[in-house]
Structure 1
């Protein structure tokens, strides 16, 4: 049974403990490690993937966009646990790239975790979480367009990661900062469309 995740380092450690008997790791395996009620960690993981060098893999921003879209919509309809179609759960990433990305994230994670603390609960409880789900839904719809502009999905990934982390750590100040970051995403999506 997955343990409680309260910060970024705990999430990375939980993912580090995935079984290493496969050459490729499925999204389903990652989600199983996070637990069925883990809406926020799913958004956080999708954001970390998009913020990492993995966002340069063709199709990755769109797949992560679909993952966030399905998760955030289920948050909006207040499901107790999330459901994903099998074709999403079966999507894979090489184990080598997955573990390399985790190791790449440890140092920034430890720095970020020092700044996290429960504060401004209005922005992460009920109505705040609902607003975050709406913003994540809109951003995820923009991701396929952003894939046309290489690495532009990185900014969306930063927004998703910040929202997921704000919900995990109950840090409303981080949620406010994430709202500011995501204000830049529509401009990038428009630029990708025009480009």
Structure 2
């Protein structure tokens, strides 16, 4: 697998789009290869985007598959692995290229707007040991994501938190990481409220 470094949200979407033009259906493995095996931020953003995108995230069991994906990469970050390993069955999961292209197409304009707002700041919320705090928060999101499928909109909050964590790591934006922690708590609260 090739290793790449992503520079922005729009860059991630462009790489996903490129992968969708080369393969149909598009596998998780092909997308990971396009965005980089070592890019924790890009992989989190990918999971968040899939859960958050209405065309994709509403497909039954997709949030649960993404929960497994997030759990595995977060656990491996905590274990200080340089490259992220996924089991073959998860790497082989795929989406129709047309579905993925539609979701990416609808997101490009918003992505470019978001990219203009991002900048390196508050590094203590994103660098060093803070990466492990992010990984722990993402592990928690992964654990609560499957039951969130039963509570309307709660999975979307989790998808947003994952997307924000991913963007924070790509842009080295500690403020965004802080906001992502808030959305993580909001998602857990929505789940607890939904089952109460």
How big is each residue's C-alpha offset from its partner over 1:60-92, in whole Å with a ceiling of 9 and x where there is no partner? Answer: 000011101001111111101110000100111
TM-score (norm 2): 0.94
Of the structure 1 ranges 157-166 and 176-185, higher mean CA displacement relative to structure 2 is found in 176-185
Number of residue pairs aligned between Structure 1 and Structure 2: 194
Structure 1 unmatched runs, 5+: none
Within 5 A, what are the aligned runs for 1:28-39?
Answer: 28-39=29-40
User: Partner residue of 2:11?
Assistant: 10
Distance 2:138 2:85 in 1: 17
- The answer for the alignment partner of 2:53 in structure 1 is 52
1:140-191 deviation digits (Å, cap 9, x = unpaired): 1001100112442111000000001100110001101111111111122224
> Per-residue displacement from partner, 1:96-121 (whole Å, max 9, x unpaired)?
11010111110110110011001111
Aligned residue for 1:63?
65
**Please, what is the CA RMSD of the aligned residues?**
1.4
CA gap 1:25/1:183 in 2 versus in 1, 3 angstroms: same
Q: Which runs of 4+ in 1 moved over 3 A?
A: 191-194
| CA distances 1:9-65 after superposition (whole Å, capped 9, x unpaired) | 111111121152533111111111112211211111100111111111000000011
Q: Do structure 1's residue 77 and structure 2's residue 79 form an aligned pair?
A: yes
**CA pair 28-15 structure 1, distance change in 2 beyond 3 A:** same
Q: Is 1:56–1:151's contact at 8 Å kept on the other side of the alignment? A: no
Determine whether 1:87 maps to 2:89.
yes
